[in-house]
Amino acid sequence: MKIKLKEAAKNLKGYSLYRLAIVLNMPQQTIYSWASGRTQPSYENLDKICEALDCAISDILEAEPVQRKLFS
């Protein structure tokens, strides 16, 4: 799964990633790491993000396309 954190924060609340870090009381580096895809938030932190942004998990997660291998 890919997280659309920057877009969701901006579109839903008008927050920058820096502001979201303050609201969540978390290190700014953690939020930027999630937004860039280097790391993924835990389910507990996903709940905190959704609570802060007043949204559902589906609003911040984006399914990545599945690549299929064709056997010949």
- For 3-15, write each residue's pLDDT tens digit: 899 999 999 999 9
User: The pTM is what?
Assistant: 0.81
CATH 1.10.3720.10 fits 2-62, yes or no: no
3-state class (DSSP) for residue 43:
helix
Distance CA 35, CA 68 (A): 27
**Contacts within 8 Å (CB) and 24+ apart, 59-62:** 59/8, 59/12, 60/3, 60/4, 60/5, 60/8, 61/1, 61/2, 61/3, 61/4, 62/1, 62/2, 62/3, 62/4
Where are the chain's structural domains?
A: 2-62
pLDDT tens profile 29-69 = 999 999 999 999 999 999 999 999 999 999 998 876 666 66
